[in-house]
Amino acid sequence: MMGVLVLGTVALDTVKTPFGWHERMLGGSAAHFSMSARLFTDLSLVAVVGEDFPLEHIAFLRAKGIDLSSLAIKKGKTFHWQGEYKNDLNSAITLKTELGVLADFNPQITIEQSKMKYLFLANVDPDIQFSLLKLMRAPRIVALDSMNYWINTKRKSLLKILKKVDIYVANDQEALSLSQESNILQAARSLNKIGAKMVLIKKGEHGVIFYNGRSFFSLPAYPAERVVDPTGAGDTFAGGFIGYLAMKGKVNDQEIKNALAYGTIAASFNIESFGLEKTAKLKMKDIDTRLIKFKNCVNF
């Protein structure tokens, strides 16, 4: 079965930015990833929510065509993140993290899902990422995201799973921290030596760098003049990137560069509104229209 399986969080996000304040919106890495990946391919989501999770959010995700058969609903509270962006919209200040049911999440998937070929392990405990990876039959592409918290507390687990990963996805700070390098290109090389076949480093407003084990690709961000809420931009990027590769069914240099451009465009919509507001309404033609503008902006 083609399509993408994503493991991650489905969360309630409370976010304040200079443009406003929204309480307990639908968010989380798997939700943001899905909202862009669904445009390209079939999408199955593996996550856990608590009994307080609003039914309307489930109806909403289902209406977007996302397979929720492995969205577990457990006794307890849904993962809740509260954060604020001040004038520098590139860095979030975390005010509160309530793990709730995420604390002892043990992902289960269907037999059909175990046969899926494209897997995205969004940022959760690397041991949980590993337990899901073991359930997969023969994935063609495994991509993995993490965060500083796990790099600091579960470094060993993370380095172990990295050896099984095709594409390690990180932001610049995480890449430097895990590799202990001071230059992000050297970080990419080093993470490749440690085990990841390919490395994708997200630099927010400064775009992305990709290392395929031999050479680098680099793309700037889409020129964004009004950033309202960047929460989830990285996962939205990953959704466009992996979603495109799954749609194409092949991974070569040219398709990777196209996938980076599609991820860039998906993320550029995400940051224009709070939560999933903008990406939920996106159609493939919106992406394609902006991609042409982007091509004109960066190709010479």
Q: Annotated catalytic sites, by residue?
A: 235
CB of 290 to its own copies, least distance (A): 13
Q: What is the DSSP string of 73-142?
A: EESSPPPEEEEE--S-TT--EEEEEE-GGGGG------HHHHT-SEEEE-SS-HHHHHHHHTT-S--SEE
Tokens of 148: 């500083």
115 vs 189 by CB, closer to its own copies: 189
Task: Rule CB under 8 A: choose which of 203, 229, 240, 242 binds its own copies.
Answer: 203
Return the SS3 of 250: coil
Distances (CA, A) of 123 to 19, 44, 110: 27, 16, 21
Residues 65-94 that bind its own copies (CB under 8 A): 87
Binding mask 245-284 for its own copies (x = CB under 8 A): ---------x--xx-xx-----------------------
For the chain, helix (H) and strand (E) counts, in that order, are: 11, 13
CA dist., res. 80 & res. 77, Å (int): 8
One of 76, 139, 195, 220 touching its own copies (CB under 8 A): 220
Please, what is the minimum distance in Å from the beta carbon of residue 203 to its own copies?
A: 7
Note whether 295 binds its own copies by CB under 8 A: yes
Does 32 help bind its own copies (rule: CB under 8 A)?
no
Provide the minimum distance between the beta carbon of 217 and its own copies in the complex, in angstroms, as a whole number: 6
Let me know: does 172 contact 202? Beta carbons within 8 Å: yes
> Given candidates 55, 134, 215, 283, which one binds its own copies under the rule CB under 8 A?
215
Looking at the Cβ atoms of 130 and 216, the one nearer to its own copies is 216
To the nearest whole angstrom, how small is the minimum distance from the Cβ of residue 300 to its own copies?
4
* 74 token code pair: 């457990």
Q: 157 to 196, contacts with its own copies by CB under 8 A?
A: 182-183, 185-186, 189
Closest CA to 167 of 105, 128, 217: 217
Report residue 285 as tokens: 């033609």
**Span near its own copies by CB under 8 A; candidates 76-84, 96-104, 207-215, 274-282:** 207-215
Choices 70-78, 215-223, 239-247, 269-277; region in contact with its own copies by CB under 8 A: 215-223
Q: Measure CA of the first residue to CA of the last residue in the chain; give whole Å.
A: 38
Alpha-carbon span 124 to 193, nearest angstrom: 23
- Is residue 219 near its own copies by the rule CB under 8 A? yes
Q: Which residues bind its own copies (CB under 8 A)?
A: 87, 182-183, 185-186, 189, 203, 206-207, 209, 215-221, 223-225, 227, 254, 257-258, 260-261, 295-300
